[in-house]
Amino acid sequence: MAAQTMFEKIWDSHVVHEESGQPSIIYIDLHLIHEVTTPQAFDGLRLNGRGVRRPDLTIATVDHNTPTWELDKPVTDEISKKQLDALADNVKDTGITFYDRFSENQGIVHVIGPDLGYTLPGKTVVCGDSHTSTHGALGCLAMGIGTSEVEHVLATQTLRQFKPKTMEVRINGDLPVGVSAKDVILGIIGKIGINGGIGHAIEYTGEAIRSLSMDGRMTVCNMSIEGGARAGMIAPDETTFAYIKERPYAPKGEELEAAIDEWKKLPTDTGAKFDKLVEIDAADLAPFVTWGTNPGMVAKITDRVPDPASFDSPAERESAERALTYMGLEPNTPIEEIKIDRIFLGACTNSRIDDLRAAASVIKGKTVNPNVYAMVVPGSARVKLQAEQEGLDKIFKDAGFDWRVAGCSMCLGMNPDILQPGERCASTSNRNFEGRQGKGGRTHLVSPEMAAAAAIAGHFVDIRNW
């Protein structure tokens, strides 16, 4: 058989039906659902007299809209409450496993899927959320879908998709000290641009990727969509298998050993061809900070805010000008001199235990700058609990951080955690679009370490000198 990429192996083994000129029908092994993108899908099922085909392959939780204050307080926003209640009603009597606000397994879908052991190598995973690409870090094919497609998966357990092209992003060499997984992906997007991956499934390869922990790999895959890609994936290896061994709902014992033997066949064969290759030298990466209003607008911490006049195309120039006006930044300002009002440590990009440990080690024994309001929102109830068992919450609270309960929170400004107009935030989330964290709010994307250091200093600092 011809040499195949990991993507092709997983795709081919999930094709249910193919007809030329039509999108393929692909079987879905795991469907994660949450409160925001599902009510209309369940309505559609009811209208057409259809049921949920495989409740046993569907997992539901609430994350986007849940308040992150203490759990004993009620949800005061009536419309949010309606949406949360709608999911509970919709999954009732279907047999779908549901982790509600109070469940010990609740959390951001992309944090709980891998952490609980539902996301496994070789699977096809979908969710009505663009950051589903996160799960690809375990060596599976994971794609974000819209609500009509959610309805399609609920009804048929399949998805209709045209086969994406493949792209290899290879990071050669070892990561320099102070350069995190977040910087790797910001560096990649800075290079390929936010539409560089359109129509492609990316596989990340190279020593720098192999050396990352599972949490770090998830950070990289998470932002594949920010490069426009359909999916992001990393071949499973010993790091992956060791991670899976610890997961409560993953296979155990002999079943796991047999599964690992199968998973070892997944990595891309030598000689397999990708449609596109991008190579990056790890030594060229540094801690990055976004200066504009899309994730491709990145600069090294030691750089300055670019001058729009330095861009070649009129469209780029115009969008850089618009971005700087929105962000309230002057061209040529050193990034390190940008002052910060708020810190958001959380979101499915960087709210796992490794992220919290990394940030805690930066701030230990220090105090948040008096001009800054900083908050930590763990990605799931389990991450929160583990952090508390390790005493990380105490480090954060002693430094002056607000310690919250799990959810998407200020990543998308849907619950009460939002920026006020003009407020500037160093955020570990994945999108710095205009108004993403609240109308008029200004977002700079950074790693957890960089966010933590900015909280203390009140402005961006080079973590390599911390």
Residues in contact with ligand SF4 by the rule CB under 6 A: 63-64, 108, 110, 129, 131, 347-348, 408, 411-412, 429-430
Stretch that binds other proteins, among 37-45, 252-260, 343-351, 360-368 (CB under 8 A): 37-45
- Phi and psi (nearest 5°) for 146? -90, 180
Residue 40: name its binding partner from ligand SF4, other proteins, none (Cβ under 5 to 8 Å by kind): other proteins
Rule CB under 8 A: is residue 88 a binding residue for other proteins? no
Binding positions for other proteins, 265-294, rule CB under 8 A: 294
Here's the x/- map for other proteins, 172-211, by CB under 8 A: it reads as ----------------------xx--xx------------
Tell me the pairing of strands 158-161 and 424-427: unpaired
The C-alpha atoms of residue 56 and residue 49 are separated, in whole angstroms, by: 20
The C-alpha atoms of residue 208 and residue 174 are separated, in whole angstroms, by: 5
Residue 347: name its binding partner from ligand SF4, other proteins, none (Cβ under 5 to 8 Å by kind): ligand SF4
Rule CB under 8 A: is residue 148 a binding residue for other proteins? yes
Here's the x/- map for other proteins, 392-431, by CB under 8 A: it reads as --------------------xxx---x--x---------x
Count CB-CB contacts under 10 A for residue 316.
14
Beta carbon of residue 34, minimum distance to ligand SF4 (angstroms, whole number):
8
Rule CB under 8 A: is residue 48 a binding residue for other proteins? yes
Beta carbon of residue 228, minimum distance to other proteins (angstroms, whole number):
6
Among 94, 156, 211, 361, binds other proteins (CB under 8 A): 156
Beta carbon of residue 14, minimum distance to ligand SF4 (angstroms, whole number):
24
Rule CB under 8 A: is residue 94 a binding residue for other proteins? no
Among 120, 145, 186, 446, binds other proteins (CB under 8 A): 145
Identify which of residues 77 and 321 has a Cβ nearer to ligand SF4 in the complex: 77
User: Checking phi first, is residue 411 left (phi over 0); if not, alpha (psi -120 to 50) or beta?
Assistant: alpha
Residue 174: name its binding partner from ligand SF4, other proteins, none (Cβ under 5 to 8 Å by kind): none
Among 275, 328, 337, 433, binds other proteins (CB under 8 A): 433
Give a three-class secondary structure readout of the chain: CCCCCHHHHHHHCCEEECCCCCCEEEECCEEEECCCCCHHHHHHHHHCCCCCCCHHHEEEECCCCCCCCCCCCCCCCHHHHHHHHHHHHHHCCCCCEEECCCCCCCECHHHHHHHHCCCCCCCEEEECCHHHHHHHHHCCEEEECCHHHHHHHHHHCEEEECCCEEEEEEEECCCCCCCCHHHHHHHHHHHHCCCCCECEEEEEECHHHHCCCHHHHHHHHHHHHHHCECEEECCCCHHHHHHHHCCCCCCCHHHHHHHHHHHCCCCCCCCCCCCEEEEEEHHHCCCEEECCCCCCCEEECCCECCCHHHCCCHHHHHHHHHHHHHHCCCCCCEHHHCECCEEEECCCCCCCHHHHHHHHHHHCCCCCCCCCEEEECCCEHHHHHHHHHCCHHHHHHHHCCEECCCCCHHHCCCCCCCCCCCCEEEECCCCCCCCCCCCCCEEEECCHHHHHHHHHHCECCCHHHC
Rule CB under 8 A: is residue 142 a binding residue for other proteins? no
Beta carbon of residue 313, minimum distance to ligand SF4 (angstroms, whole number):
29
Identify which of residues 24 and 429 has a Cβ nearer to ligand SF4 in the complex: 429
Residue 391: name its binding partner from ligand SF4, other proteins, none (Cβ under 5 to 8 Å by kind): none
The C-alpha atoms of residue 63 and residue 350 are separated, in whole angstroms, by: 15
Q: How many residues bind to other proteins according to rule CB under 8 A? A: 65
Beta carbon of residue 280, minimum distance to other proteins (angstroms, whole number):
22
Residue 294: name its binding partner from other proteins, ligand SF4, none (Cβ under 5 to 8 Å by kind): other proteins
Rule CB under 8 A: is residue 79 a binding residue for other proteins? yes
Identify which of residues 152 and 459 has a Cβ nearer to other proteins in the complex: 152
Site residues for other proteins per CB under 8 A: 16-17, 21-23, 25, 27, 36-37, 39-40, 43, 48, 50, 64-65, 77, 79-80, 82-83, 86, 128-130, 144-149, 151-152, 155-158, 160, 162, 164, 194-195, 198-199, 225, 228, 230, 294, 315-316, 318-319, 322, 412-414, 418, 421, 431, 433-436, 439-440
